[in-house]
Structure 1
Amino acid sequence: MKERTRELLETERRQALTRLADLTDDFDAVVSASRDSNADDEHDPEGATIAFERSQLQALVRQACRHLDEVEAALDRLTEGTYGICEICGQPISEGRLEARPVARTCITCAAARR
């Protein structure tokens, strides 16, 4: 079970790194394209679209970074022997929850109580 979980988390990490690299490339392309034009966000009709794309990509990059951090933390918990244990109540996290969300830090009950 532990080895299968490690493989799953390693796959999640590779996918997150690939997504982050792709998003970073996309962001760099948008920034480069807007730098090469004389457009400004305020006066150019396309400026608002470029600003929106840049903002959207920044949000996606932050989201990918957070997910990568979550995966890394889950791998650390696996190494430490605390993976699958709720960080709030100390009870086991159900297998179903861990299958659906391998980076889960809390059981369903504690997660629901935090909302």
Structure 2
Amino acid sequence: MDDPRTRLERERQKTLDRLANLSDDFDAVVAASRDSNADDEHDPEGSTIAFERSQLGALAEQARQHLTEIDAALARVASGTYTTCELCGRPIAADRLEARPVARTCTTCASAQHA
């Protein structure tokens, strides 16, 4: 298993790349709709364009939220609390951090939050 900082930095770069691609895709959809005579309300293609814009916007927001989570995890690495559950103070299992590097809680506390 990689050093947590290295894994998180790699994940951060992948997320930044994904966000850049989504922004490019969003810009392309906006430009395409601007260059066409599509009327979002009345043109059958308009609803598709509006859906694509909405979907790309939602995916970009998810990527931005993930960047926030990664930055918080990097701060926990720097402070030495990365492997400590924020709720109960017990260790977060290595396999949980391997599967979800931005995890803030142990599996017990995560399960209790979703119950």
TM-score after normalising by structure 2: 0.95
Structure 2 letter corresponding to 1:14: Q
Structure 1 gap ranges (5+): none
Match of 1:28 in 2: 27
- RMSD over aligned CA atoms reads 1.2
1:50 aligns with 2:59: no
* Counterpart in the other structure of 2:112: 113
- The equivalences for 1:2-17 within 5 A come to 4-17=3-16
Partner of 2:70: 71
The TM-score normalised by the length of structure 1 is 0.95
Per the TM alignment, residue 38 of structure 1 is displaced from its structure 2 partner at its CA by 1.8
Residue by residue, what CA displacement relative to the aligned partner does 1:54-95 show, whole Å, maximum 9, x if unpaired?
110011001101111111110001001110111111111000
Give the gaps of 5 or more residues in structure 2: none
Q: Match for 2:113: what amino acid?
A: R
Displaced runs of 4 or more, over 3 A: none
